[in-house]
Structure 1
Amino acid sequence: KEKPKPSEKEKVAPEVPLMPKTQEEVPVKVYKLAPVDFTDELPAVGTVKSVPALELKFETNGIIKTMNVKEGDKVRKGNILATLDPRDVKLEIQWAQSKLNAAQAEYNAALKRYQVIKRLYEVGANIKDRLDQAQAELDVAKSKIEVAHKELALSKAKMEKLKLKAPADGIIGKREKDVGEFITPNDVILTLLEPENTYVEVGIIEKDIYKIKTGQRVKVKVDTYPTRIFFGYVENIFPEIDERTRTMNVRIRVLDPGRLLKPGMFARADIAVFSKRNALVVPSISVAIQRGAYYAGVVENNKVAYKRVAVEYITTDYAVIKKGLAPGDLVITETPGMKRLKSGTGVKIIETQEKLF
């Protein structure tokens, strides 16, 4: 049977489907990405040490005539620090000069005789033997001049050896001898402290050794000067690991022109293992790894979006982004329970961080 049609009174409005409940937006905190100067420092502890002072000696015997410096004086490379009495060497130079003059006079006379005999021979005189003899005498006289020149040069070189010069820039340490004393080449006259002779030796644990490179900038502090920072650089990385401590020694050259650092002081060093200006840095918690690739969560149009990023450097706290993000991106830094949100999830920003550190 046909179903009876409803009367006008029984007719009702057509059924309207129910709207799904609006999904509640998830509260999140974000960091507004901006370029920053970023440096990652590796802390290390060690001991202040110093390069042995240079011992300055004369190259010859003699009596000290002048001493031009005192302990603590700053000197430049090439400065004359002390001299020996030059009287004996001056006499030697005078004697060598007189020998040269005599040899020159002998040569001039031999040359004149040779020229006269040669002219006679050229016009037909039968004096070949005399010409050969004159030539031999001329050669001997010439060799005497050469010997005299060498002797004079050696004597003058001795005069230079009477000067004690600074081999490098530095500070005079000890003054071991004084004016009037007789010295030999074995005697230490002065000691010279180089301005950069101070260094710090620190131990780096095995897992951090790969981070250390020569030339890296370092900040050093010691307890004696708690508010002062000494700057330096990684000068040398020792090739072997200490079996007892499982650390590798690293030498840090420290700039200490005032010579405040003393050997034996306990030192704390911060080694700049990574540094970049105008870097895009995000909290490392904002970066996740999926199938071998890095992704960073951002807020776009009030929804979660994940961008694939290239990470240049990462630490426990921060990640330096090489590409994939741009200044102004709103990077998610905190979610309820720190759970990862699905892409497309609606969110509400409850806090925007403008500065990372």
Structure 2
Amino acid sequence: MNKVRTIIVLVVLALVGFGAFRAAQVISAKKEEKKTGMSPIPLVDVAQATQGLIEERILRTGDIIPYTQVTIYSKVQGWVENINVREGDRVKEGQVLVTLDIREAEATVGQAQANLEAARARLQQVRATAEETVQTQIQQTKANLDLAEADLRRFQELFDKNFVARQQLDEARTKYNVAKATHDLALNSLRQKTWENDLALAEAQVRQAKASLDLVQAQLQNLIILSPMNGGVTKRYVDPGTMVKDTTPILTLMDLGEMKMVVNVIEKEFLSLQKGQPVKISVTAFPDRTFNGKIEIINPALELQSRTAEIQVSIPNPGFLLKPGMFGRAEILLRSNPQATLVPIQSVVSQVNEDFVFVLQGEKVSRRPVHKGVVRDTVVEILQGVNPGEKVVTAGQATLKDGVQVRLSLEPKK
């Protein structure tokens, strides 16, 4: 403590001594003016323009929020049977969160499975017997045709010998024609494969039964609600026994492994930003720690009234230190110049529509307009008007004009 007090006293004495020295210089100059009757040569302080790194950064504030957040709903109406998680629990993708009453749905699935098995059995039967049945019909009709043809020949011979009446011959011919037509029909069925219609119908019945089973199985799956992501349960809205609909919220999940900040930037800043650009994040809860983020999304359009654009900064949060709702500060680098020309900020004189400095050239000063860049702490970047190594006036500019002779009060500051 005594050492600190000693340092403070020494600093104060140094400042007082410097002030007394400057005052003595001014008094001496006034005495010289009275003695000679001429205006004294102005006393100035100068410093050397340097070359170095300067960065333009912006600071924006916003709330820390989860990068991914979802609210869980049921796709179907039903009674809640089980809820397997509570607020604060960690969950994994695919984990069973909620189960609705599934007894009725399971019975429906069983009936649909039975219908599918029956349809498949019928299809198998049709495939096995369809062509075989047609072949059997052909054999039977061929036998009937052969018999009718033999009867017709026999009755024709008997009629020719006048042993039978024409009526009997006509009856035999009619039976032959019927048998031939029946056999031709059976042959045509074989050629056209008419049994394929029965086969197609059986196959369609199998597809219909399979679709019905898929539907009821999907409905059964909808009664078992799985987690869509890794994260944590931040809100539970219902308890077992509650009747829920597709509009009833059940749980809210947040992925706390990655957070984000949404901030706004003005038009000039917006043009300097790029996706993936690093961002430094700090929060009040951890004043001595910085979190590394990056620009994830840049809204391509400016908001018309405010002329600002929204950007999203993603922040990895592996230790879950950042919590939703924390107040964050985002520091974003807009521009960096490692070879900037830098001068003390007090060397730049600002007037209406013009900034200028006085540059020491020999024993005189030259008034030069300058274009300023980034202002950082005690220095300012000069984009045009001064070169590194030149000496600029840092004190005493008030009475200076272009080309006047000056005296240095101190050695130039570097």
Instruction: Give the TM-score of the pair, scaled to structure 1.
Output: 0.61
Letter aligned with residue 330 of structure 1: G
For 1:92, the equivalent position in structure 2 comes to: 108
Letter aligned with residue 39 of structure 1: E
Q: Secondary structure at the match of 1:173?
A: strand
Report the CA distance shift for 1:122/1:66 in structure 2 as closer, same or farther (over 3 A).
same
Letter aligned with residue 240 of structure 2: V
For 1:330, the equivalent position in structure 2 comes to: 389
What aligned pairs does 1:252-331 form with structure 2 within 5 A after superposition?
255=315, 257-258=320-321, 260=323, 262=325, 269=329, 272=332, 274-276=334-336, 278=338, 280=340, 282-283=342-343, 313-315=373-375, 318-319=380-381, 329-330=388-389
For 1:33, the equivalent position in structure 2 comes to: 51
Tell whether 2:72 aligns with 1:62: no
Query: Whose Rg is larger?
Result: 2
Tell whether 2:222 aligns with 1:161: yes
Please state how far the C-alpha of 1:211 moved relative to its aligned partner.
2.4
Q: Whole-Å Cα distance in 1 between the matches of residues 347 and 138 of structure 2?
A: 106
Q: Whole-Å Cα distance in 2 between the matches of residues 64 and 321 of structure 1?
A: 69
Q: Whole-Å Cα distance in 2 between the matches of residues 248 and 93 of structure 1?
A: 56
Please state how far the C-alpha of 1:179 moved relative to its aligned partner.
2.9
Please state how far the C-alpha of 1:91 moved relative to its aligned partner.
2.0
The correspondence for 2:123, drawn from 103, 107, 124, is: 107
Where does structure 1 lack aligned partners over 5 or more consecutive residues?
1-25
Where does structure 2 lack aligned partners over 5 or more consecutive residues?
1-43, 143-182
Please state how far the C-alpha of 1:133 moved relative to its aligned partner.
5.4
Quick check: 1:61–1:183 contact (8 Å CA) kept in 2? Answer: yes
For 2:87, the equivalent position in structure 1 comes to: 71
Quick check: 2:78–2:245 contact (8 Å CA) kept in 1? Answer: yes
Please state how far the C-alpha of 1:143 moved relative to its aligned partner.
0.8
Q: Whole-Å Cα distance in 1 between the matches of residues 349 and 135 of structure 2?
A: 104
Quick check: 1:286–1:332 contact (8 Å CA) kept in 2? Answer: no
Q: Whole-Å Cα distance in 1 between the matches of residues 347 and 134 of structure 2?
A: 103
Please state how far the C-alpha of 1:55 moved relative to its aligned partner.
3.3
For 2:304, the equivalent position in structure 1 comes to: 240
Quick check: 1:282–1:321 contact (8 Å CA) kept in 2? Answer: no
Quick check: 1:235–1:253 contact (8 Å CA) kept in 2? Answer: no
The C-alpha deviation readout for 1:215-267, integer Å capped at 9, x for no partner, is: 67475656x8776767766865761326xxxx85857658585565649xxx6
Q: Secondary structure at the match of 1:239?
A: coil
Q: Counting helix residues as a fraction of each chain, which structure ranks higher? A: 2
Q: Whole-Å Cα distance in 2 between the matches of residues 105 and 80 of structure 1?
A: 36
Tell whether 2:268 aligns with 1:210: yes
The C-alpha deviation readout for 1:262-289, integer Å capped at 9, x for no partner, is: 49xxx68565361327453524777899
Instruction: Give the TM-score of the pair, scaled to structure 2.
Output: 0.54
Report the CA distance shift for 1:248/1:280 in structure 2 as closer, same or farther (over 3 A).
closer
Count of paired positions: 309
Quick check: 1:297–1:331 contact (8 Å CA) kept in 2? Answer: no
Please state how far the C-alpha of 1:101 moved relative to its aligned partner.
0.7
Report the CA distance shift for 1:40/1:259 in structure 2 as closer, same or farther (over 3 A).
closer
Report the CA distance shift for 1:297/1:95 in structure 2 as closer, same or farther (over 3 A).
farther
Q: Secondary structure at the match of 2:55?
A: strand
Quick check: 1:71–1:175 contact (8 Å CA) kept in 2? Answer: yes
Please state how far the C-alpha of 1:84 moved relative to its aligned partner.
2.1
Report the CA distance shift for 1:315/1:95 in structure 2 as closer, same or farther (over 3 A).
same
Among all aligned residue pairs of Structure 1 and Structure 2, give the percentage whose two residues are the same amino acid.
18
Q: Whole-Å Cα distance in 2 between the matches of residues 319 and 77 of structure 1?
A: 52
Q: Secondary structure at the match of 1:69?
A: coil
For 2:199, the equivalent position in structure 1 comes to: 138
Tell whether 2:235 aligns with 1:171: no
Report the CA distance shift for 1:30/1:103 in structure 2 as closer, same or farther (over 3 A).
same
Q: Secondary structure at the match of 1:33?
A: strand
Q: Whole-Å Cα distance in 2 between the matches of residues 209 and 337 of structure 1?
A: 38
Quick check: 1:33–1:281 contact (8 Å CA) kept in 2? Answer: yes
Letter aligned with residue 171 of structure 1: G
